Structure 1
Amino acid sequence: MYTIWKGSLSFGLLKIGIKLYSAVEEKDIKLLHLHKDCLTPIKYKKIAPNCLDEEVEETDIVKAYEYEPHKYIILDEKELENLKRTHELRAIHFLSFIQSDEIDPIFFDRSYFVGPTTGSEKAYLLLKEALDRTNKLGLVHISLRKKQHLAIVRNFGQGLLLQTIHYSDEIREVENIPNLPKHEEIPIQKQELVAAMNLIHHLTTPFTPEEYTDEYREALLNLIEEKIEHDEKTETIFPSKNIVDIMETLNASIEQTKQKTKLQKRKAK
């Protein structure tokens, strides 16, 4: 596994060297956008429509924050880098420990496996055992992907798992959903509720992740494989100007070789 973060985790006065590895592997099928005539991949240019239609160079692009419509504060790269260095955390520590059922799943974001660095195996195992016995989650701050995250550390199988969680102001209010029904406006009959609960009871089964698959992805893969088997493969058709360039280069190379040969013959005489 590829290490995406390396640092230390303080457990009281005990420092544990740790590495983070992505716990999730995206399985999306990436489809390219090609020009239908020559099958060349489409490239997207960066332009400033109100200024010029030519492609903008990277050196001419700045970062900014829109504080009012069409009003911006320009942020210099050096300012951003200094800010990042000031708040980047390579040594993290537990802010507190909380009950495992205190965080609603809506707060969870990304998951990372936590592994020990060489020499920290015993401290790592000690933390894992302590979290397991107390059934607690450890709360930490960590810098990942140019952002400071709130995260929890918990037991997962034979190791530890770090999961970043959203800040409270990033969670929208469910009350803002339009047309939310209310009990006082739409009464529920007792027999209707009992029937619904009975249906849930009869449909309840243990959760086995392996039983569920992405049916669309499998169907798309089957379609791709079927097209390959039926020899519907296509290759990029290079524009004719490239062929002309190659021919010109080859002819120039031949002429250069002839000139060298003539020169060598003259010297031999």
Structure 2
Amino acid sequence: MARAVWSGSLTFGLVTLPVQLATATESHTVRFHQLERGTSDRVRNKRVNERTGKEVPYDKIVKGYDTGDGEYVVIEPAELDEITPGRSQAIEISGFVELEAIEPAYFDSTYFLQPRKEHANVYGLLRDALAETGRAGIAVMSMRQKDYLVAVHEQGGVLVMHTLHWADEVRDPHETLDNLPSRSKASAKERKMAAQLIEAMAMEWDPHDFRDRTQERVRELVEAKRTGETVERAEKPPESTNVVDLMSMLEASVDQARSGRTSKGSKKTGQAKAGGSRKSGKKKSQPDLGELTRDELYQLATDAEVPGRSRMNRAELEKAVARSARSAA
């Protein structure tokens, strides 16, 4: 059970709902310590005076704002404490907006809201009303000596709160980016083909379909180093598409996407037939491994938990996947 990071009340109108905040996400990044090469000695960071090189104790450190001309405005920690807000006791919703109206760039951190048991009915009322209207409550709250703009809405049967970036923190893309085309020079045929490619690659959103390959390979590298083995280098990224070949690449992509969808559909149909004909002793058909890419083979090997898969080349992956499929049959 996640520890509550904030406790207080959520208010809307004259209704007050005691709630607790719990972080909605956690990092799966592999953590490393810094060591001196050739030893197991930890390397620590120290706060040092850059002029004298001497370490400075924490209670001797103040904050300095660079005015841009080499001078600093010095701010004492106590002075910040006097002007910054303490932890607010309430999330006071000032109004409700369409959830879809909040641009994705504004979203920052995500928290789950949970009620006290005796206030479950009020919690359920707000949750269901937000789900029905598709709106999010907007409020400003204080937490960790900072003000936060937040949005509260329903997701998966739970009240969810997002901290949002302030308006002046979100950059204007037209001022930030240099090479945005004012208008696409693509032909009508190319635009139509691009739309067909998007439709051919349409899919249902399921985050469980995706994996952090980098972190998987980092863990495999750690295990390989621990056991004295080696790990294969990552494949090079694909080259940029030549503008002259754009139409042919679009057509080939549409064909590939459609054939991929057909093969997936055939695979599901084959699985259904195999499941319904087990009594007759028919075996489930396997995909043609020779037509799969190395990444697709690697995914099959990951699903089958093939040991040492990160160190295998394409041919070795194909053999390992085939061997695993025969063992499972």
- Quickly name the TM-score band, shorter chain normalised: 0.7 to 0.9
Partners of 2:23 and 2:112 within 8 A in 1: yes
Higher share of residues assigned helix: 2
Paired AA for residue 31 in structure 1: F
Partners of 2:10 and 2:17 within 8 A in 1: yes
- Which residue of 215, 221, 224 maps to 1:223? 221
Partners of 2:11 and 2:90 within 8 A in 1: yes
The answer for the alignment partner of 1:28 in structure 2 is 29
**Does 2:194 align with 1:196?**
yes
The answer for the alignment partner of 1:242 in structure 2 is none
Task: Report deviation, 1:74.
Answer: 1.5
The answer for the alignment partner of 1:134 in structure 2 is 133
Work out the number of aligned pairs and report it: 228
Q: In the aligned structure 2, how far is the partner of 1:79 from the partner of 1:90?
A: 22
Kindly report the root-mean-square deviation, in angstroms, between the aligned alpha carbons of the 2 structures: 1.8
Unaligned stretches of 5+ residues in structure 1: 233-269
The answer for the alignment partner of 1:115 in structure 2 is 114
| 1:173-212 correspondence to structure 2 within 5 Å | 173-176=172-175, 177-183=177-183, 187-212=185-210
Task: Report deviation, 1:188.
Answer: 2.3
Task: Report deviation, 1:101.
Answer: 1.2
Task: Report deviation, 1:133.
Answer: 1.7
Q: Which piece of structure 1 moves more, 192-201 or 136-145?
A: 136-145
Deviations 1:155-209 (A, max 9, x none): 01121100011111001111121222221xx522111100111111101111111
**Does 2:40 align with 1:39?**
yes
Unaligned stretches of 5+ residues in structure 2: 231-329
Higher share of residues assigned strand: 1
| 1:58-73 correspondence to structure 2 within 5 Å | 58-73=58-73
Task: Report deviation, 1:143.
Answer: 1.7
Identity %: 28
Q: In the aligned structure 2, how far is the partner of 1:133 from the partner of 1:200?
A: 30
Deviations 1:14-66 (A, max 9, x none): 1100000000011111111101132211112211222x111111122101222
Task: Report deviation, 1:230.
Answer: 4.3
Task: Report deviation, 1:84.
Answer: 2.7
Partners of 2:18 and 2:116 within 8 A in 1: yes
Paired AA for residue 8 in structure 1: S
Partners of 2:10 and 2:91 within 8 A in 1: yes
Q: In the aligned structure 1, how far is the partner of 2:229 from the partner of 2:194?
A: 52
Runs of 4+ residues over 6 Å off in structure 1: none
Higher relative contact order (CA 8 A, sep 6+): 1
